[in-house]
Amino acid sequence: MRIIQLLSTLGVSAIALAASDAPVVDPRSELGQGLQLGQTNLFERQNIAHANIFNRRQVGCSAQPRACINNFCARAVKEGGDEAPALTSRQEDCSSFMHKTVSYDLTTTVTADAADVKRRQQTIGPSDVPSYATAACTDAAKYSSACSCWGITASTTTVSSVATVTVQPSAIPTAFGVIQAKRADNGALVGYLRVSGSVAQPSFSTSTNDAIRFKAVGQPSGGILAQANLELENTDRGAYFGLVVGRDSTNSDIAAGSINYLYPSPVSESTEPGSVPQSVPNYYTTANGLNKQAETSVWNIDFSTGAVTTQWINTDGNTPSTLFFVQSNYLYAGGDPAAFHGRYPSPIYGVTLHWVGDSQTAAPTVT
């Protein structure tokens, strides 16, 4: 009953929970703690929303930098102090802070059938308030106001790049199927990956009837479909099945000795093979409002053995060991399951993933 109450608070009805046949969630698990955290965050979001409404009514809140207000912050920036740099340096700091760069990357992928255009936008800036000004200027708005007293206003530089990529369809093999999980310790079948309720990562089914169907698209390498994208065929939660940074991970890197972990989860936009974590739309971020990075071209399928493995790439380009494990009947990935278990003491066990092609017919020829 406690879990159903928590789910109801998060907008998940008891009827939906029953219909999804979701597994019982141990409150010590990562998911269980997340449900409890979600209830707390809901109340916090409500309080913040009420405060924001009040502030907007009182002062007409604006996201734009403040105009010059000759206050303590402005005087501290203009007059400096014992630890402040020279006047010209302080003015340069203001100019840097008030400037932002917007970059656009336009990529056109041409195939035999069509041309697909993707546009990415990245905004850089403003930067952090300089350390010598933080005591007097307690937030970015106050510092920008102080800078405007010098006549330094917000500015923007726009940078764009254009690339065209031509793809020969025959160079990218594809395959259709489902994925099963087996216990790593004894090879016992756990089940087939399936969507479960409103949870980001999959649970397991004993039947292929409600399993997630995948279309594997990747690059041939030594008999393996390498750095493949797994396109989702029977769910509208996202176009791709990727890895998304976990809720409590402190950054986007996994490693031995770190509790950082990943959700195998739907992602709306693909990432390039070999890329580091990207801020792309994904089901977890959409459902929970937490901006978590993701990668999609991380899957390797050996059709001779059926083994499905994955390789996460850290922000520095390193390739840590990426392992699958299960807690509360949900699938996770990470660099150190034991460290994860130390943080979330509900039972876990390692699993391996295996490709099951449509009717076990011939897999694509990969050379």
Could you report the per-residue pLDDT of 36-93, keeping only the tens digit for each?
765 444 444 444 444 444 344 433 333 345 678 888 899 888 888 777 889 999 999 9
What the block records as the tokens of 316 is: 């520095």
- Higher confidence at residue 345 or residue 165? 345
179: pLDDT strictly greater than 70: yes
Triad 248, 251, 257: Cα angle to 5°: 80
Q: Torsions phi, psi of 284, nearest 5?
A: -65, -45
Q: Rounded distance, CA 319 to CA 326, Å?
A: 22
Give the model's confidence band at 205: pLDDT under 50 very low, under 70 low, under 90 confident, else very high.
very high
Specify the pLDDT at position 241.
97
Q: Rounded distance, CA 194 to CA 166, Å?
A: 34
Task: Read off the pLDDT of residues 93-119 as tens digits, 9 standing for 90 and up.
Answer: 998 888 887 777 777 666 555 556 665
Please count the helices (runs of H) and the strands (runs of E) in the chain. 8, 16
Which among 62, 85, 219, 80 has a CA at the least distance from the CA of 146?
80
- Cβ contact 254:262 at 8 Å: yes
pTM: 0.60
- Cβ contact 163:119 at 8 Å: no
Specify the pLDDT at position 166.
59
Specify the pLDDT at position 66.
60
Specify the pLDDT at position 22.
55
Specify the pLDDT at position 173.
66
Other Cβ atoms less than 10 A from the Cβ of 96: the count is 14
Specify the pLDDT at position 96.
87
Task: Work out the average pLDDT over 316-332.
Answer: 97
Specify the pLDDT at position 51.
43
Q: Torsions phi, psi of 100, nearest 5?
A: -130, 150
Specify the pLDDT at position 254.
98
Task: Work out the average pLDDT over 269-278.
Answer: 96
Find all residues with CB under 8 Å of 270, minimum gap 6, and list them. 229, 239, 240, 242, 280, 296, 297
Give the model's confidence band at 3: pLDDT under 50 very low, under 70 low, under 90 confident, else very high.
very low
Find all residues with CB under 8 Å of 276, minimum gap 6, and list them. 252, 295, 313, 314, 315, 316, 317
What the block records as the tokens of 263 is: 């959700």
Specify the pLDDT at position 2.
42
Task: Work out the average pLDDT over 290-319.
Answer: 95
Whether cis (ω within 30° of 0) applies to the bond prior to 126 is: yes
Cβ contacts of 187-191, under 8 Å, gap ≥ 24: 190/326, 190/351
